[in-house]
Amino acid sequence: MADTHKKTGKTVVAALGGNAILQPGQVGTFEEQLFNIDGAMRRIAELVEGGWRVVLTHGNGPQVGNLLIQNALAARTVAPMPMDVCGAMSQGQIGYMLEQTLQNHLRMRRLPVPVVTLLTQVAVDPKDKAFADPSKPVGPFYSKAEARKMMLEEGLAMREDAGRGWRRVVPSPEPVEIVPIAAVRDMLDDGICVICSGGGGVPVVRGKGGALSGIDAVIDKDLAAALLAREVAADALLILTDVPQAYIHYGAPEQQALGTVTLAEMRAYAAEGHFKAGSMGPKVAACMSFVEAGGQAVIGSLTEVVQAMAGEAGTRIVPEAGTGKQTERTAGHGAKKSAGKTHGKKAGSKKAPAKKAAARKAAQPGATVIDISEARKRASGGRA
C-alpha cells in the first residue's frame, strides 16, 4: 500500500474536461486519446507527488456518442445496447487509459500509490424536473423522416439541432447519490488513487426496496464531481478545462479574468449571466455547491494543474470571510474521516426516492415525442 499517502495529506477531487481526452479536430482514435490522457496524467502525478490524495473523474460525451453511432450502424448485426450500458462501457474504456498512464507516471516518480478504476453508478431522482424536458443531445444526426420513425416506433424524444439534422435528446437530472461511496472512502483512506464517476456516473434510479435500475439520461460530470467531493469530505474541488480561468464579460472588450473570489461574489456574477449554460455555467454551479459545504473550488487549465492548486493560476472560489466554514475542510484529515465515514446516511445529500418513475415519458415539452400506445391505437382504427 501507499504508506506515505495512507490517511495523510489533503484530498482533492479533480474533474478532467473533454480536452484531457480528445482535442478539437481529432477523430478520436485510440492513439490520439491515449496520447492526450498520458499528458494529463503526468500532471495529475505531479499533484500526487506534492502530497495530494487524488480522486479523479472525467467526461465521456464523445465516447458515448461514438458508441451510440456504432449501435446505429451495426443494429442489424449486433444487438444495440441502451444508454446506461454505453455509459458503463465508456467508463471502462477511459478508466483503463487513465489508470494505466497514471500508474506509469507514478512508477517513474517512485511513488507506490495504487490506482483503481471504479465503475460508478450514480442515482438520480426519478421526479427530477429534467425528465419532463429532455434537453441533452446524444448520438448521431438523423433526417426528419428518420427521426419521426424513431419517435413513432421507439418513443424517443428527438429535436432538430441547429440546421444540422435531428438528434435524440435525453434528460440531464441532478445527481443525488454516489452509489458505491463507501468503497470510494475506504480506498481513499487506504492511500489508493480512485478513478470514479466517469461521465457523471452511470445514471440509475432506486425502485421498490431500493433496487437499482439504469435509466436513459446524462448526468453533468461537474455536478457529480461536486457531490463526490462533498461525500469524501475533500479539501478541494479542481475542475480542469481548456481555459486558464473563469471570466466575466467573456469575449467582450471588457473581459476580465477572475482570480480569488468569494462565494457571494461568484453568486452575483452568475446571477448577472456571465457563465453560459453550455460551457462555464455548470462548472461554476458545481464549484459554488461545493464551497457552500465549506470547501474551496478551483477552475483552471489542464496545463496548470500544480500551479492552480498552489494558488498561482486559475480561479479560486472560497467561503465567505468570517463564516468559519473553511476550517471544517482544513482542520486535517482526522476531522474529515469522521465526517466522511458515514456509510449510512450521507450529510448534505438527498435520499433517492423509493419509487421508480416512468422516465421515458411522452409529450415532453421542448421536445417532439410520439406516444407509442396512442400511435398504435390510431393505426388499428381506434382499438387499443
Residue ranges of the alpha helices (H) in the chain?
A: 30-49, 61-73, 83-108, 144-154, 181-189, 221-231, 263-271, 280-292, 305-309, 326-330, 333-340, 372-379
Annotated active-site residue 136? The verdict is: yes
HEC string for 282-329: HHHHHHHHHHHCCCEEEEEEHHHHHHHHCCCCCEEEECCCCCCCHHHH
The Cα–Cα gap between 14 and 160 comes to 34
The Cα–Cα gap between 167 and 173 comes to 19
User: Active site residue: 19, 36, 60, 71, which one?
Assistant: 19
Residue 239: CB atoms within 10 A of its CB come to 29
User: Active site residue: 221, 314, 336, 346, which one?
Assistant: 221
What region, left, alpha or beta, does residue 379 occupy, with left being phi > 0 and alpha being psi -120 to 50 degrees?
Answer: alpha
φ, ψ of residue 300 to 5 degrees: the values are -155, 180
User: Active site residue: 6, 10, 66, 136, which one?
Assistant: 136
Three-class SS state of 194: strand
Annotated active-site residue 60? The verdict is: no
Annotated active-site residue 18? The verdict is: yes
Residue ranges of the alpha helices (H) in 122-180?
A: 144-154
User: Active site residue: 17, 18, 65, 294, which one?
Assistant: 18
Tell me whether residue 145 is exposed, middle or buried, using C-beta atoms within 10 angstroms of its C-beta: 0 to 12, 13 to 18, 19 or more: exposed
The Cα–Cα gap between 167 and 262 comes to 40
The Cα–Cα gap between 88 and 64 comes to 9
- Residue type at 52 in one-letter notation: W
User: Active site residue: 60, 65, 283, 295, which one?
Assistant: 283
Give the DSSP H/E element, type plus range, for residue 138.
Answer: strand 136-142
Looking at the annotation, which residues are catalytic?
18-19, 136, 221, 283
